[in-house]
Amino acid sequence: MKIVYADKLGFCFGVNEALTKIDTVIEKEKGKNIFMLGMIVHNKTVIDDLLEKGIKIINNNNNIENLNSNDIVIIRAHGVSKEIYKLLDEKRVKYYDATCIFVKRSREILVKKEKEGYQIIFIGDRDHPEVKGIVSFGKNVIIYKDFEDMKNNIKELNKKYFIIAQTTLNKNMYLDIIEYRKKYLLNSEIADTVCGATYERQKAVEKLAKIVDIVIIVGGHNSSNTKKLYNVSKNINKSSYHIERIEEIKKEWFENCETVGITAGASTPEKVIKQVEKYIKEAI
Ligand code: F3S
């Protein structure tokens, strides 16, 4: 069986930066309790490795209340809400911010455009940490989960809207939104906030899905960008499967299969991608 990799896959710039930052913090803050605030990236293998290095994980405001001023916190790549920053400052907890620069950029655009008098529209998953974090910096943000949701529910087309999208939004959907804005939202503007890593990986899986029999998409089940890769792939190739670990791979997927395509989300470590390749070569 031939294995073909997507041209672009795996760790993105933001995840690499966040993990490098953690290593620096571990070195610099030896002997102290170091906590990640939520999953630093949405990948269980990465998190397990960090837990093994002694980092602890905390999840909510109550946990922050219990920290003391000697503890160290690392803020995840997706960012956190304004309230959490405030809480950390109040508790005088030292923190290192591993929020990806593209997430910070969306946040800054939102604050600036709201000050300029725009009604902000955010397109994305309201339950995702990135969206919760960015939106918390605004005063009155309208959230639509996708283009359909926006089209069906938007009112007052002449209003001065400013549209921002989640960094992992499907780029084709983003292009549809641009077209819609040009036609119907004549007083509105839009920022290009879909991150390059997301776009490159979506384009690469699009190409891959057309030339292989089946596509394996490796990444956390809670990883937004991996889910988007799966959706892009599935639209082109019905035999697309999203897995997080090799145990999820089923032999029957590979019946009559000659070529297997592999791609991986932006928070999937290379070692997991290699494990998948090894497993397919040896066990299927
Ligand atoms: Fe940042 Fe894009 Fe990665 S927003 S964390 S570079 S997927």
Q: Would the CB of 197 count as within 6 Å of ligand 1?
A: yes
Does 92 share its domain with 125?
no
Cβ neighbours around 105 below 10 Å, total? 16
Give the active site residue among 83, 130, 148, 206. 130
Q: Which domain holds residue 40?
A: 13-100
Its ipTM equals 0.99
| Burial class (CB within 10 angstroms; exposed 0-12, middle 13-18, buried 19+) of 271 | exposed
Q: How many domains does the chain have?
A: 3
pLDDT band at 59 (very low <50, low <70, confident <90, very high): confident
CB 73 within 8 A of CB 96: yes
Q: Would the CB of 15 count as within 6 Å of ligand 1?
A: yes
C-alpha torsion 205→207→209→212, nearest 10: -120
Does 182 share its domain with 206?
no
Phi and psi at residue 208, in whole multiples of 5°? Answer: -65, -45
Residue bearing the CA closest to ligand 1, atom 3: 14
- Domain with 53 in it: what CATH number? 3.40.50.11270
Does 173 share its domain with 232?
no
Alpha helices in the chain (DSSP H): 13-28, 44-52, 61-65, 82-91, 101-115, 129-135, 147-153, 171-184, 196-211, 224-236, 270-283
Tell me which of 190, 219, 242 is where a domain ends.
190
Does the annotation mark 247 as catalytic?
no
Which pLDDT tens digit goes with each residue over 97-152? 999 999 999 999 999 999 999 999 999 999 999 999 999 999 999 999 999 999 99
Does 204 share its domain with 168?
no
Does 204 share its domain with 125?
no
Tell me which of 136, 158, 190 is where a domain ends.
190
Residue bearing the CA closest to ligand 1, atom 2: 195
Nearest to 48 by CA among 229, 245, 198, 226: 245
Does 92 share its domain with 126?
no
Compute the distance from residue 15 Cα to the ligand 1 centre, in Å: 7
Does 92 share its domain with 22?
yes
| Across 56-65, 82-91, 200-209, 273-282, least confident range | 56-65
CB 219 within 8 A of CB 241: no
User: 240 among the known binding-site residues?
Assistant: no
Tell me which of 81, 100, 119 is where a domain ends.
100
| Per-residue CA distances from 206 to 28, 171, 229, 264 (Å) | 42, 12, 9, 13
Does 225 share its domain with 178?
no
Which pLDDT tens digit goes with each residue over 196-248? 999 999 999 999 999 999 999 999 999 999 999 999 999 999 999 999 999 99
